[in-house]
């Protein structure tokens, strides 16, 4: 599992690359948490290059989500292949994660739902 | 009848090997790509459980993975050398609500193949059998 | 110890499957690419012989291919359900001179792995064992 | 095994593509013989895309060679990968086939060895 960090404005974008199974999950979890420093308030996990994910990989994403929520930050997941999307559906995790087609849609989503909109009120 | 069998020590690094070899075995079977990915996922869940819960990652213990292609179905058996267990029913809805990090392996197997059976083999270990009907 | 085993009916179409799966198994082994190709070739010769000479392409008969990786070597057994045979020594130089179209399988096996053994298993069939030392 | 026929001047060039084992050999042998009509006096078999060959495949090439010799035509084999070259060496078939690095070298070889040179004498 290779993880690359980019920045889009004030949003941290992590690209995950490879298989997310129990052999890669511990390392992936550490890497993701390491790459998300305290200042990351908005985080996108782009899964476009995740070839495989199973319950172990979903566990990693949930653990990351909990950390991000505790830090009062926000997480979006993007670019799920049909297969990856299916496992989120079957496990009901579509109702837990904010899932977007791509990074742009995720950025719009952050705007729409966040305090940034509040300022307009 | 075709039979493919692999035995490997209980080390997590074999998860990738299992994935590669399972892909190869499924490659020429009369199953669509999405179904192949589902089978791959179900196999990974069963093998992970055998390595971790069954054999406790003890590398002196072996996991045995067997594929048998018959006319009507593909049967995949995952055998470990552990103490066995009685499967509980878990709700994916509950797990999602509670942000559980674990407990989705068996439900995923059930969602992804046509039949999942658990059998404790006396003095041997647990056998998890996945069955996928072929068109 | 890792063990990989495939059993398949005696049909030539399995030669390609055997090739694919053998490649996958060899993939992560500590052997250089050229040595892998030699092993693939030796395996293809032994399996071809088992399908054709051993089992006479009778699809009710099975060929069993087993890979066992130990610390010092990789052992590959090819078992058929045929009547067995006593291997003859053939000269590749003679075969080349005479433009023979056949008879190079066993010499190629011998050239490409460290050890080739033939054993008739009573009431079962022929077992051809290839052994490749690992660095 | 896919086989494509080209022409280089008066030379027939067959490109073999794939694995030459006993599963493909009967078909390959027929195809090659079919593609070589009576008028092909010089023939090149380009093996650049042969990923795999074993004794069954060598048997096909020997059978083709014998036919070509009987027809008083000439055969060259080109573009052997190191692995394919090795099996020709081990089986002593380097002494039986005319083997060249590439098609150009094979054409030169035909010139050098053939009756075309005779005319110069
Ligand atoms: N092969 C096995 N041997 C022993 N116990 C097992 C085995 N497979 C599953 N279990 C038990 O069933 C439970 C549920 O498994 P699963 O649904 O895959 O979720 P998880 O593995 O994430 O806990 C495991 O926590 C374990 O207690
Ligand atoms: N598994 C086998 N069962 C029975 N006979 C065999 C077997 N393997 C090889 N043989 C015999 O040994 C001979 C030489 O085999 P080989 O060197 O591979 O050349 P080829 O298969 O081209 O004849 C075969 O022709 C066959 O008679």
3-state SS of chain A is: CEEEEEEECCEEEEEEEEEECHHHHHHHHHHHHHHCCCCCCEEEEEEEEEEEECHHHHHHHHHHHHHHHHCCCEEEEECCCHHHHHHHHHCCHHHCCEEECCHHHHHHHHHHHCHHHHCCC
- The answer, yes or no, to whether any atom of ligand 1 lies below 6 A from the CB of B80, is yes
Query: What's the CATH number for B2-133?
Result: 3.30.565.10
User: Which segment of A112-116, B67-71, C129-133 scores lowest on mean pLDDT?
Assistant: A112-116
Q: How far apart are CA D59 and CA D19, in angstroms?
A: 14
pLDDT digits (tens, 9 = 90+) for A2-38: 999 999 999 999 999 999 999 999 999 998 998 887 6
User: How many angstroms separate the CA of residue C91 from the nearest CA in chain D?
Assistant: 9
pLDDT digits (tens, 9 = 90+) for D40-66: 899 999 999 999 999 999 999 999 999
Q: Which one is predicted more confidently, A113 or B106?
A: B106
pLDDT digits (tens, 9 = 90+) for A77-93: 999 999 999 999 999 99
Q: Assign A40 a pLDDT band (cuts: 50, 70, 90).
A: confident
Q: Which residues of B touch A62 (CB under 8 A)?
A: 99-101
Q: Domain coordinates of chain C in residue numbers?
A: 2-133
Q: Assign A118 a pLDDT band (cuts: 50, 70, 90).
A: very low
Segment D3-19 mean pLDDT: 95
List chains adjacent to chain B, taking adjacency as at least 3 C-beta pairs closer than 8 Å. Answer: A, C
Q: State chain C's mean pLDDT as an integer.
A: 95
What are the phi and psi torsion angles at B42 (to 5°)? -60, -45
**Contact across the interface for B99 and A65, Cβ inside 8 Å:** yes
User: How many angstroms separate the CA of residue D108 from the nearest CA in chain C?
Assistant: 25
pLDDT of residue D39: 78
| C62, C7 Cβ separation under 8 angstroms | yes
- Report yes or no for ipTM above 0.90: no
User: How many angstroms separate the CA of residue A50 from the nearest CA in chain B?
Assistant: 13
Q: Mutate which of D89, D90, D96, D98 to disrupt the C interface (most C C-beta within 10 Å)? A: D90
> In this model, does residue D37 exceed pLDDT 90?
no
pLDDT digits (tens, 9 = 90+) for A56-73: 999 999 999 999 999 999
pLDDT of residue D64: 96
pLDDT of residue A119: 44
Using only C-alpha atoms, chain B has a radius of gyration, in whole angstroms, of 15
pLDDT of residue D118: 43
> In this model, does residue A103 exceed pLDDT 80?
yes
Classify B83 as helix, strand or coil. coil
pLDDT digits (tens, 9 = 90+) for B60-87: 999 999 999 988 999 999 999 999 999 9
Using only C-alpha atoms, chain C has a radius of gyration, in whole angstroms, of 15
pLDDT of residue D114: 64
**Nearest protein Cα to ligand 1, atom 6:** B53
Q: Output the CA D12–ligand 2 centroid distance in Å.
A: 35
| C120, C84 Cβ separation under 8 angstroms | yes
> In this model, does residue C76 exceed pLDDT 80?
yes
pLDDT digits (tens, 9 = 90+) for B1-45: 789 999 999 999 999 999 999 999 998 888 999 999 999 999 999
> In this model, does residue A120 exceed pLDDT 50?
no
pLDDT of residue A116: 52
With a pLDDT cut of 70, the percent of chain B lying above it is: 100
Element (H, E) at D4: strand D2-8
Which of B97, B127, B107, B120 lies closest to B45 in space, CA to CA?
B107
Residues with Cβ within 8 Å of C110's Cβ and at least 6 positions away in sequence, in order, are C116
pLDDT digits (tens, 9 = 90+) for D62-115: 999 999 999 999 999 999 999 999 999 999 999 999 999 999 999 999 998 765
pLDDT of residue D24: 96
pLDDT of residue C1: 74
Atom of ligand 2 nearest to the CA of C128: 1
pLDDT of residue C71: 83
């Amino acid at each position: 599992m290779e993880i690359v960090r980019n920045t889009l404005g004030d949003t941290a974008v992590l690209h995950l690359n490879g298989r997310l199974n129990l052999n890669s999950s511990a390392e992936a979890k550490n890497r993701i948490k390491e790459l998300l420093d305290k200042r990351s308030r908005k985080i996108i996990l782009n899964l476009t290059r995740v070839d495989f994910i199973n319950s172990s990989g979903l566990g990693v994403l949930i653990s990351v989500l909990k950390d991000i929520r505790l830090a009062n930050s926000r997480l979006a997941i993007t670019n799920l292949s049909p297969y990856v999307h299916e496992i989120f559906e079957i496990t009901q995790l579509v109702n837990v994660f904010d899932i977007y087609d791509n990074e742009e849609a995720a950025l719009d989503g952050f705007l729409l739902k966040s305090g940034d909109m509040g300022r307009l009120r | 009848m075709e039979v493919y069998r692999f035995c490997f020590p209980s080390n997590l690094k074999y998860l990738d090997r299992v994935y590669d070899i399972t892909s190869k075995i499924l490659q020429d079977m009369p199953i669509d790509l999405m179904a192949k990915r589902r089978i791959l996922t179900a196999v990974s869940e069963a093998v992970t459980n055998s390595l971790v819960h069954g054999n406790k990652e003890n590398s002196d213990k072996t996991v045995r993975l067997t594929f048998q292609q018959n006319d009507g179905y593909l049967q995949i058996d995952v055998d470990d050398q552990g103490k066995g267990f009685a499967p509980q029913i878990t709700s994916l809805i509950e797990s999602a609500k509670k942000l559980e990090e674990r407990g989705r392996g068996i439900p995923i197997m059930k969602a992804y193949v046509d039949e999942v059976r658990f059998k404790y083999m006396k003095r041997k270990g647990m056998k998890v059998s996945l069955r996928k009907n072929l068109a």
